[in-house]
Amino acid sequence: MTLPKPEPKVPVTPPEQWVDLYGDYLYGFAMSRLRNPDAASDCVQDTFLAGIKALDRFDGSRDIKFWLRGIMRNKIVDQIRKSVKENKVDIEAEDEALLESFWFKYSGIATTNPDPWEFNPRKFYDNGEFWKVFEKCIDQVKDPARQAFILRVLEDQTTEEVCKVMDITPNYLWVLLHRARSQLKVSLEQNWINSD
Amino acid sequence: MLTCKQVSNALSKEDYEKMPPFKRFFLKLHIKLCIFCGKFNKQVMDSQDMCRCYKEKEELVNTERPKMEEERKAKLRELLASQSIGAQSGQKD
């Protein structure tokens, strides 16, 4: 005997209304991750179609908007996988030297003496403008470091998953994340201090 | 006591806030005391703090991000209408 399906706690919006209600919301996220309007639109479309297919599994414990956002995580990973397939990730000479360096092998760090921050970013965490600048700075990080950063940090994929998607080793992923962090720091220092 | 490499590995695998309290304590202790990796790994932790905070605030920033083109939206509306009718008739069958 099958138990009757419990009523969802939040109303299920019919898919015909999804574009108007959640289209821009999801597109905003997709654009921030993919930077390409076509890829972002495809990503939203794939999310909606996957949402329709999985709608009977929607448990209604949270707003459908967040449920669709959850589905979109996988679609963003798919889009990045596609773009990595087209432009294969090659290890740059500079990164190769870092991977082979004594410090990296001994301690797993890139340098013992990184430049300190030119300002204390914590002071601005409550300032909405700071996060807008932060987002622009993420956009300025070069691929594939940006892609690694998006997958690992912003989309919460595991190290193993990111390595599989980007076809790289965990050590190289670490180097890419280090690149992303340092480029982000330099560009935040330039853009935030100049925006005052 | 953790080694520099263990600290770096742990930080490269996950956000330090998600680690068990015991591990977090030794990690922070190492970073405070270590003259080799302390400065570097402290910046990794600061970056994790920053990204965590960004993700919390992202919903607010999202309202000012670019919007989808109207033309694309119209196509998507049609597609969803046809798909959801198909799905409903499929369920009835």
**pLDDT category of residue B92 using cuts at 50, 70 and 90:** very low
In chain A, the largest separation of any two C-alpha atoms, in whole Å, equals 67
Mutate to test the interface with B, among A109, A129, A134 (most CBs of B within 10 A): A109
Of A110, A131, A154, the CB nearest to B40: A110
- ipTM reported for the complex, 2 dp: 0.87
Q: Are residues A127 and A175 in the same domain?
A: yes
Residues of B in contact with A125 (CB under 8 A): 50, 53
Tens place of pLDDT per residue across chain A (196 aa): 455 555 656 778 888 889 999 999 999 999 999 999 999 999 999 999 999 998 888 887 888 889 999 999 999 999 999 999 988 888 888 888 888 888 888 888 888 889 999 999 999 999 989 999 999 999 999 989 999 999 999 999 999 999 999 999 999 999 999 999 999 999 999 999 877 6
Name the burial class of residue B6, with classes exposed (0-12), middle (13-18) and buried (19+) by CB atoms within 10 angstroms of its CB.
middle
| Exposure string for A156-190, b = 16+ CB within 10 A, e = fewer | ebebeebbebbebeebbbbbbbbbbbbbbbebbbe
Q: What ranges do the domains of chain B cover?
A: 4-92
Distance CA A115, CA A185 (A): 10
- 3-state SS, chain A, equals CCCCCCCCCCCCCCHHHHHHHHHHHHHHHHHHHHCCHHHHHHHHHHHHHHHHHHHHHCCCCCCHHHHHHHHHHHHHHHHHHHHHHHCCCCCCHHHHHHHHCHHHHHHCCCCCCCCCCCCCHHHHCCCHHHHHHHHHHHHHCCCCHHHHHHHHHHCCCCHHHHHHHHCCCHHHHHHHHHHHHHHHHHHHHHHHHHHC
CATH number, position A34: 1.10.1740
Domain span at residue A51 reads: 15-86
The verdict on residue A102 lying in a domain is yes
What's the mean pLDDT in B14-19?
92
Contact residues on chain A for B89, CB-CB shorter than 8 A: none
Q: What is the pLDDT of residues A22-48, one digit of tens each?
A: 999 999 999 999 999 999 999 999 999
Domain annotation covers residue A160: yes
Q: Check residue B93 and give its pLDDT.
A: 42
- How far B66 CA sits from the closest chain A CA (Å)? 6
With an 8 Å Cβ cutoff, are B12 and A19 in contact? no
- B9 closest CB neighbour out of A53, A108, A131: A108
Chain B residues closer than 8 Å to A121 by CB: 46, 50
Q: Which amino acid is at A168?
A: I
Please write the tens of the pLDDT for every residue from A155-170.
999 999 999 999 999 9
How does pLDDT run across B61-77, given as a tens digit for each residue?
888 899 999 999 999 99
- Asked, for residue A145, whether it belongs to a domain, the answer is yes
Both A99 and A80 in a single domain? Answer: no
Tell me if A69 is assigned to some domain: yes
Q: Is residue A134 assigned to a domain?
A: yes
Distance CA A31, CA B65 (A): 8
